[in-house]
Structure 1
Amino acid sequence: MRRREFTLVSLAGLSLPALAQGRPFGAMSEEFLEALWKLDPDAAVSAGRFEFAGRVTLPSAAQRQRVRVFAKDWLARFQRLPAAPLSTAERMDRDILIAKLQSDLWRLDVLREWSWNPAEHNPAAPLDLLLNTDYAPLPVRLKALRPRVAALPAYYRAARDSLANVTREHTELAIQQAPGVLGVLDDMATRASEAGQAGAFKAPLAQARAAVNGFVAHLKGLKPARGFRLGPELYEPKFGHDIQSARTGRETYELALLRREEVLASMQTQAAALWPTVIGSEPPPADRFALIGRVIDKLSERHVARERFVDEIRAQIPQLEAWVRDHDLLSQDLAKPLAVRETPAYQRGVAGASIEAPGAYRPQDKTYYNVTPLDDLTPEQAESSLREYNHWILQILNIHEAIPGHYTQLVHANRAPSKVKALFGNGAMVEGWAVYGERMMMESGYGASPEMTLMYGKWHLRSVTNTVLDYSVHVLDMAEADALDLLVRQAFQTEREAREKWRRVQLTSVQLTSYFSGYSEIFALREQLRTRPGFDLKAFHEKFLSYGNAPVRLIAAEMLKA
């Protein structure tokens, strides 16, 4: 799972001169971005524009009105711009910006998640980024942080005033993440003391802590007024805005059902072949799910020790780099640092592993591979997680998150001259590439063994099942018991993994479909191009990634022209 996506906020109230007809698109998009950074300091900081670090915005009704005015104005500007004179990259950027602004307006006025999801109002990420990114000496960073800390009481008042008709699940998530926000403030107090600024931060930090605790108390007193399910009226437009696929949500769901059957049939054959060596002379069960599940369950006993979980992930990264290099699958830039770290507390509660990439303006900064350790789990819970991420699956997880998955793709994306694609990239393309990267490695012979083949089938089934689960829960009203049966019995996930996925599908919507949707479109494009004379796999990979984080349908349209 890839983290750090950018949301348009606080962008109106600008004095924007009319753009002359025929003005170069590059100048127009740069003007848009500079306007964005001036009035959206959180997005600016996430993008690496740290000169905006000291500016503060609040999640208020006035702010949302400024967003509305700004987005409508810029949407009209980009829609009026004729596409014909633009280059390929510019046309893509124009399409991405139009889609972005349309999505922002829909989220603001139709989805209205800011009103029912308290976890939307979490100020920790920019605070942590500013505190721990060495873009300037620590005293300079602390100076920029002081107004942000001082504004936290007003921030939480605005957040509280914005909330209405909250869901129980998202309210619980916000409460769960609050100690992580306090942890960032504690870290700031320590760093301020190191820099001799403890006195300047004492009162603002005390008021900020009180604001966090007050917000939690307010949330605990709220009565949930709506369910977490989107329903078909919201799901299909959200799928259209978020995924930007050539297919609808329903069509993607139906394709996933077909792929699921193909994967299960293959896994049944593989499990039957492994049964004598893994299980023994016991007659195999006739039920397909029981057969596959028994073999996977036995193989899953092989896993890393609990205390070695994060260290083992860290150790596998150079091995994956070497495989990609030795098999000439894709160029890499080993000068771009990747840091495996424990997931910050304020980010925990949704995904166990994720990539956190640097902003588009600071590609030289570290990319973090966030891994949630198993320290806080009971022995039974830890064993369940370790069996899920067993010897083989843990390698595939690292392929997906790191190399040649998210980390490699995002390094390539930051090379693209277009900041638009880096800033407002398509999540389905990003997640789809990571899933495609798994297949790329398996096809190249990585970890070749019957056990790895079966476990890859299980992992790939996970991406497919994500789509089935998400659509079934949010549109077809799938119950918890049926969801857990789908995940545990029919997709061979451990009980703990399945319950975490059930939690995730309650807290998110559509995002779980991005894996299979993006992958299926990338794979279909590759297979279509493979029929052409002179097809070269590495060249395909390089060319595909050269377009940056554009929707797959836009990339496919360009690559199929040649």
Structure 2
Amino acid sequence: MSVGELVDAYLALHARFRPVDATFMGLGGYDAQLPPAGAEALEQERRELRELLAEVEGYGGEPEGAGERLDLFLLGSQLRVWQREAAERPRQHNPAWYTGEAAFGIVSLLLPNERPTDPAAVLARLEALPGFLAAGTATLEGLNLPADWVERARKEADALTALLLRGLPQHPDLQHPNLQHPDGQDGWQGAATIAAKAVQAFAGALMPGTADPASGEAYLAFLMKEAHHLPYSPAEAEHLAEAGFEELRAELEELARRLDPHRSWREQLAALETQHPALAEVQATYEAWNDRALKAAEGLVTPASEYGLSFEYLPAWAREAAGALYFLFYRSPPAGHPGQGSVYWIFPPGADETAYLKSQNTPFIKAVHAVHHGSVGHHTQNARARGAESRLARIAATDCASGIAFLGAGTLVEGWACYAEDLLLETPGFYTEHEELLLKQFEMRNAACCLADIRLHTGRWTLEEMRAFYRDEVGFAPGRVWAETTRNSIYPATRLMYWLGTRTIRELRAELKMPPQAFHDRLLSYGSAPVAWIAAEMRRSLTPQGVS
């Protein structure tokens, strides 16, 4: 088979076994389906992975173009990662996989994009939920499950129940005339009520066990090499992260002393929370700083200013469920049909207006929402990925039910967004001095999380030791610690990609010595793939006369 045919075969396989991913990617024909579940489906998946991987590894020679080279690399990498996951840490053995797929099987069809809601697909997935979750109950029965994974699944089950019973009735498409349930009830609600009972039955059948959630050092090393293409062993990366954490903490403390010798860095950062807009100005503040970030990036990178970003409050139908689910501020629209722009959700205020406004402080809006996720961060990276020569690099960073579609895309995706925060330090006046302190804390936190990811999955730390580190040393908000660490335990080698990805981009820029805008535009032009692999392609493009 040609590279193009191999890509076609992979996408068909991915969509059949992960149809919710296919909806997020914009691959047509799978919106009415949920993933096949059960022992027979898992065995079928393993068999087809082996067969396709043999085809990919049997491909003769090396493609001439960077796009096909990257496609062939991503094919082999993703298939080997998926195959080993299916053998050692099958997602079907994680209770939160079932609740995540069930929830986002519905949510993925309701998010705004250039195509209208398909009512038949929504109804089909609602009706498929009881069977999918029953298969999950049968698969999980008798397994020794990590207790925190069970707790996460239960939280997600409650959120999904809220969506089905109280969220869907608020959706503007609820009364579509094509939505008629066979039991005679109108709209989605008949099927949703039945599905909600199945969700609660699934959650009620879950039995927390005592299993260690750590992947083990060998599995972590495999992901670092095969998915991320990193040149480090876990021990080497741990050493780098530990040194980076200590150095960044010292820099943070020194910067805080210089700014105000009478207050610690924690106190100074807490004071930033008082710098917030009035409640009526929150949305306008997001918009204004996004626009300012686009302007501040001039000469550093070509932002996706031609591709719209609309800041809107989270719709009423999603509000009760969003908190416990992987409901992101920003999701790039399906690459298969992206339309003309993205929607960026602003989470609305709750009962405590004071706490809400502290969380919506201007420095945080500026760095995290306007830069990291919006403007030149994820928004520009995703928009540029759609024009990549590699077909797989166009979709690899798709946010799906529980994370991005290809783990290997993470060092570029998160590495770039974190790098972009600091990139605008090169525009004088964009950040205040105290906002630079916030950026330094973000960088220290990423080094710390890289360290924790490695130490948890190599067995050096327990989950509770990781949590204590996040609370006491890193400065995570107490309410965030449990969710963050539980997610870390489920997905090894995901938290390390932020700091190591940023580090790799910085090293490559220093090595190639290209003009900033040329370097950054070239980096993003390859799409979503391991930064180390993109670096190899950029080096390959060098000629004796410079960069081609």
Q: Same fold per TM (> 0.5)?
A: yes
1:407 aligns to 2:407 (yes or no): no
Instruction: Look up the match of 1:217.
Output: 204
In 2, the alpha carbon distance for the partners of 1:347 and 1:119 equals 16
Change (3 A) 1:468 1:136: closer
1:541 aligns to 2:528 (yes or no): no
SS at match of 1:357: coil
Aligned partner of 2:139 among 141, 157, 162: 162
Aligned partner of 1:177 among 156, 161, 164: 156
Contact 1:49 1:361 in 2 (8 A): yes
In 2, the alpha carbon distance for the partners of 1:457 and 1:439 equals 9
SS at match of 2:144: coil
Question: Pairwise mapping of residues 434-449 of structure 1 onto structure 2 (< 5 A)?
Answer: 434-449=417-432
**Equivalent residue letter for 1:161:** A
SS at match of 1:52: coil
Aligned partner of 1:129 among 108, 111, 121: 108
1:231 aligns to 2:216 (yes or no): yes
Deviation by residue 1:103-162 (Cα, 9 ceiling, x = unmatched): 111111111242144344431213222234466555xx1122322222211111111112
Q: CA deviation at 1:52?
A: 2.9
**Equivalent residue letter for 2:128:** A
Aligned partner of 1:317 among 290, 295, 320: 290
For the aligned residue pairs, the C-alpha RMSD in angstroms reads: 3.1
**Equivalent residue letter for 1:419:** R
In 2, the alpha carbon distance for the partners of 1:307 and 1:477 equals 48
Q: CA deviation at 1:61?
A: 1.7
Contact 2:272 2:363 in 1 (8 A): no
Q: CA deviation at 1:50?
A: 3.8
Deviation by residue 1:172-228 (Cα, 9 ceiling, x = unmatched): 111111233234434445634353735354543332222112112212xx1423133
Contact 2:146 2:213 in 1 (8 A): yes
Aligned partner of 2:344 among 352, 369, 386: 369
Deviation by residue 1:65-100 (Cα, 9 ceiling, x = unmatched): 221111111111111112424422211110101011
Aligned partner of 1:358 among 329, 333, 337: 333
Normalised TM-score (structure 1): 0.82
Change (3 A) 1:493 1:207: closer
1:204 aligns to 2:191 (yes or no): yes
Change (3 A) 1:292 1:227: same
Quick check: 178-187 or 121-130, which moved more?
Answer: 178-187
Q: CA deviation at 1:265?
A: 2.9
SS at match of 1:464: helix
Instruction: Look up the match of 2:404.
Output: none
**Equivalent residue letter for 2:335:** A
In 2, the alpha carbon distance for the partners of 1:94 and 1:421 equals 11
Q: CA deviation at 1:488?
A: 4.6
In 2, the alpha carbon distance for the partners of 1:125 and 1:170 equals 18
**Equivalent residue letter for 1:550:** A
Change (3 A) 1:195 1:377: farther
Instruction: Look up the match of 2:455.
Output: 472
Q: CA deviation at 1:519?
A: 0.7
Instruction: Look up the match of 1:292.
Output: 265
Contact 2:309 2:344 in 1 (8 A): no
Change (3 A) 1:337 1:354: closer
Contact 2:467 2:485 in 1 (8 A): yes
1:423 aligns to 2:395 (yes or no): yes
1:47 aligns to 2:28 (yes or no): no
Normalised TM-score (structure 2): 0.84
1:555 aligns to 2:534 (yes or no): yes
SS at match of 2:133: helix
Q: CA deviation at 1:34?
A: 4.1
SS at match of 1:405: helix
Deviation by residue 1:284-310 (Cα, 9 ceiling, x = unmatched): 8xxxxxx43344344554345678666
Change (3 A) 1:477 1:253: closer
In 2, the alpha carbon distance for the partners of 1:500 and 1:309 equals 26
Instruction: Look up the match of 2:233.
Output: 248
Contact 1:182 1:212 in 2 (8 A): yes
**Equivalent residue letter for 1:114:** Q
In 1, the alpha carbon distance for the partners of 2:7 and 2:457 equals 36
Aligned partner of 1:456 among 407, 414, 439: 439
Change (3 A) 1:338 1:511: farther
Instruction: Look up the match of 1:110.
Output: 88
Change (3 A) 1:38 1:57: closer
SS at match of 2:37: coil
Change (3 A) 1:68 1:259: same
Structure 1 residues not aligned, in runs of 5+: 1-18, 285-290
Change (3 A) 1:234 1:29: closer
Aligned partner of 1:394 among 351, 365, 379: 365
In 2, the alpha carbon distance for the partners of 1:446 and 1:500 equals 35
Deviation by residue 1:449-480 (Cα, 9 ceiling, x = unmatched): 32122222112111111112222333244356
Q: CA deviation at 1:415?
A: 1.6
Give aligned-pair identity as a percent.
19
Instruction: Look up the match of 2:244.
Output: 259
Instruction: Look up the match of 1:6.
Output: none
**Equivalent residue letter for 1:395:** K
Contact 1:487 1:493 in 2 (8 A): yes
Quick check: 141-150 or 444-453, which moved more?
Answer: 444-453
Quick check: 231-240 or 255-264, which moved more?
Answer: 231-240
**Equivalent residue letter for 1:427:** G
Contact 1:121 1:159 in 2 (8 A): no
